[in-house]
Amino acid sequence: MRVSAIQLNAGADTDGNIATADRLVRHAASLGAELVALPEKWTVLGKREHMEAGAQSLDGPAISWARAIARELGIDLLAGSMFERAPEREKGFNTSVHIGPDGELKSIYRKIHLFDVEVDGAVYAESSTEDPGDEIVVTELADGVKLGMSVCYDLRFPELYRILALRGAEVLAVPSAFTLPTTRDHWEVLVRARAIENQCFVIAPNQIGNHPGNLRSGGRSLIVDPWGLVLASAPDIETAIVAELDFSVLRDVRKRLPSLARRRPEAYAWPEAFAWDAR
Q: Which of 111-120, 148-157, 183-192 has the lowest average pLDDT?
A: 111-120
> Tell me, what's the pLDDT at 123?
85
Query: On the CB side of 206, how many CA atoms lie within 13 Å of its CA?
Result: 31
Q: Output 125 or 25, whichever has higher pLDDT.
A: 25
Active site residue 200: no
The model carries a pTM of 0.95
Query: How would residue 187 be classed by pLDDT, with cut points 50, 70 and 90?
Result: very high
Share the mean pLDDT of the chain: 95
> Tell me, what's the pLDDT at 270?
64
Q: Are 58 and 104 in contact (CB under 8 A)?
A: no
Question: Does pLDDT of 273 surpass 70?
Answer: no
Question: Does pLDDT of 278 surpass 80?
Answer: no
* Catalytic residue (one of 34, 40, 84, 170): 40
* Catalytic residue (one of 106, 111, 126, 238): 111
Q: Output 273 or 60, whichever has higher pLDDT.
A: 60
Active site residue 152: yes
How far apart are the C-alpha atoms of 132 and 142, rounded to whole Å?
A: 28
Question: Does pLDDT of 145 surpass 60?
Answer: yes
* Catalytic residue (one of 41, 84, 130, 152): 152
> Tell me, what's the pLDDT at 172?
99
Q: Are 242 and 28 in contact (CB under 8 A)?
A: yes
How far apart are the C-alpha atoms of 165 and 249, rounded to whole Å?
A: 16
Query: How would residue 272 be classed by pLDDT, with cut points 50, 70 and 90?
Result: low
Radius of gyration of the chain (CA): 18
CB atoms within 10 A of CB 136: 16
Question: Does pLDDT of 186 surpass 80?
Answer: yes
> Tell me, what's the pLDDT at 275?
64
> Tell me, what's the pLDDT at 49?
93
Over residues 199-242, the pLDDT tens digits come to 999 999 999 999 999 999 999 999 999 999 999 999 999 999 99
| Residue 251 neighbours by CB under 8 Å, 6+ apart | none
pLDDT mean over 242-246: 98
pLDDT mean over 84-100: 94
